[in-house]
Amino acid sequence: MRRQIAIIGAGPAGMFLAHLLHAEGIEATVIERRDRPYVEGRVRAGVLEQGTVGLLRRLGLAGRLEREGLVHGGTNVSIDGRVFRIDMAALTGGATVTVYGQQEVMRDLFDAAELRGLDIRWNASDVALTGLDGDRPVVTWREGDAARRLTCDFVVGCDGYHGVSRAAIPASVLRTFERVYPFGWLGVLADVPPADHELVYANHERGFALASMRSPTRSRYYIQCGLNEDIGDWSDDRFWDELCLRLGSETAAKVTRGKSFEKSIAPLRSFVVEPMRWGRLFLAGDAAHIVPPTGAKGMNLAVSDVTMLGEALSEHYREGSDAGIDGYSARALARVWKAERFSWWFTSVTHRFPTMDGFDRRIQIAELDYLRGSPAAQRSLAENYVGLPLEAA
Ligand code: FAD
Ligand code: DHB
C-alpha cells in the first residue's frame, strides 16, 4: 500500500488528525492495535476546552455535542469543605468548557469516519516502523494471518504512552522529563444526578476529591488514593463515605449515592519527551506527553498537537512549504509545557502529599485562599482551564 500519511493509533489524537487530513484531501491510513468497541469503551477524559469544541464544529462533528454537551461557564474549588466559585466566562471574556465524555467524542469520530470512508485498520498487531530517517518510511503490521506493508511520506505516532512510535526514536535523540506522583485517582461512574451543575475540585486534609459528571443523570467522581490500593477494598459505601467527607457538608448534602458501574484506579504522572519529531516521524498526544488529570488537559493537548500538525502537513502538500513541519515540535512543546505547568500546579495545590508537614499544608491553604479572594489569581486559573490559545510558531 502507498499513502501520504500513516497514523499509528485511533485514539483522540489519531482520529482528529485523520479527519483533519481528510478535510484537506490528504490520504491517510490509521493503524490501531485494538478494535473499535475497546477504544470507544475506555472511560477517560470528560471536559473539552473551547478549542476542542471549535475543532469538532469545524470538522462538522459537533451535532450530538451541541445537543448533549453541558456548557460550563464556571468551576468550584473547596478548601476543607468551604466552597467558592470561579466565574471562568466572566474572567476570560466569555470562554467556557464543555462536559462531553471522551467515549462520546470517540463515537462521533468513528461514526463520521465510516460515513466519510476514512481508512482505519483495526486489530493491527506487531506494528513496526522503519526508514523514518530516510525518504520513504515503511509501516508493517499483521491483520490476523495477513502481513501488511504501507509506504508513506510521513508517519504520525498517535499511539499513546505505551505505543511503539516513541520507542522508534533513538534514545540518543530523545530527552525525557518526568515526575511520578505518590498517589493515584480512584474514579467511579454512577447513574445518579451530579452533586452540582458545575465541577467541584476539593482539597481536604484527607486528600483530593473531584465531583464531575457526564450528563444530568450520570455522575463521575474521583478521590485521591494510595498507589497500591486494592480496588476490591473500595465498596461503593466506603467510596461514598470518603467522597462526602472530603467534599465537605455543603457539597455532600447534594451527593446522590447509587450503585457504581465503573470503578478504577489511575496513577498520576507528568511526562514530556523532546523533540516531538524525528526524521519523518511526528509524535502527538500521549505518545509524547502525559499530564496528571487535575484540570482535564490530557485529551485537549492531544487535540491541540494534531491541530498544529494538520496545519503543518497541509502547508507541506498545498504550498510546498516545510516551515510548518520543521516548526511543529517547538510550537507544540511550547503549549505542552504550559499545560504541564498548569496540571502540575493544580495537582500540587489540591492533593495531600505523603511528605507534607504543617508548613506545607498551611501554604497550600493560603494559596487556595488567595485564589478565593484574588480576581487576578482566578483569571490565571480560568484562562488555563478553558485552554490557552494555539500561538503561531
Ligand atoms: P490514547 O487515547 O492512549 O490512544 C492511543 C491509541 O493507540 C489507542 O487506541 C491504542 O490502542 C493505540 N495503540 C497503542 N499502541 C499501539 C500500537 N503498538 N500499534 C497500534 N496502535 C496502538 N484526560 C483528561 O483530560 N481527563 C481525564 O479524566 C482523563 N482520565 C484518564 C484516565 C485514564 C485511565 C487514562 C489512561 C487517561 C486519562 N486521561 C484523561 C488522558 C486522556 O484520556 C488522554 O490524554 C488521551 O486519550 C490521549 O489521546 P491519544 O490519542 O494521544 O492517546
Ligand atoms: C474529569 C476529569 C478531570 O481530570 C478533571 O479535571 C475534570 C473532570 C472527568 O473525568 O469528568
How far is the centre of ligand 1, averaged over its atoms, from the C-alpha of 11 (Å)? 6
Looking at ligand 2, which residue's alpha carbon is closest to its atom 7? 296
| Ligand 1 within 6 A of CB of 340 | no
Average pLDDT over residues 176-200: 98
How far is the centre of ligand 1, averaged over its atoms, from the C-alpha of 198 (Å)? 25
For the chain, give the percent of residues with pLDDT over 70.
100
Count, in order, helices (H) and strands (E) of the chain: 12, 20
How many angstroms separate the CA atoms of 72 and 48, rounded? Answer: 10
How many angstroms separate the CA atoms of 333 and 337, rounded? Answer: 6
Quickly tell me which residue has 505505551 as its cell.
162
Q: Are 237 and 258 in contact (CB under 8 A)?
A: no
Residue 132 has pLDDT above 90, yes or no: yes
The answer to whether 351 is a known catalytic residue is: no
Average pLDDT over residues 184-211: 98
Candidate from 159, 185, 221, 272 with most ligand 1 atoms within 8 A of CB, to mutate: 159
Residue 130 has pLDDT above 90, yes or no: yes
Residue 392 has pLDDT above 80, yes or no: no
Structure confidence by residue, pLDDT tens digits, 360-373? 999 999 999 999 99
The answer to whether 201 is a known catalytic residue is: yes
How many angstroms separate the CA atoms of 97 and 225, rounded? Answer: 27
Count of CB atoms within 10 A of residue 39's CB? 24
Question: For residues 13, 16, 18 and 22, what is the CA-based torsion angle, rounded to 10 degrees?
Answer: -160
Residue 391 has pLDDT above 90, yes or no: no
Residue 243 has pLDDT above 90, yes or no: yes
| Ligand 1 within 6 A of CB of 184 | no
Structure confidence by residue, pLDDT tens digits, 320-344? 999 999 999 999 999 999 999 999 9
List 181, 201, 222, 328, catalytic entry: 201
List 12, 137, 292, 293, catalytic entry: 293
How far is the centre of ligand 1, averaged over its atoms, from the C-alpha of 160 (Å)? 5
Structure confidence by residue, pLDDT tens digits, 253-306? 999 999 999 999 999 999 999 999 999 999 999 999 999 999 999 999 999 999
The answer to whether 216 is a known catalytic residue is: no
Candidate from 98, 99, 220, 286 with most ligand 1 atoms within 8 A of CB, to mutate: 286
Q: Are 278 and 169 in contact (CB under 8 A)?
A: yes
Structure confidence by residue, pLDDT tens digits, 44-89? 999 999 999 999 999 999 999 999 999 999 999 999 999 999 999 9
How high is the pLDDT of residue 293? Answer: 98
How many angstroms separate the CA atoms of 262 and 271, rounded? Answer: 27
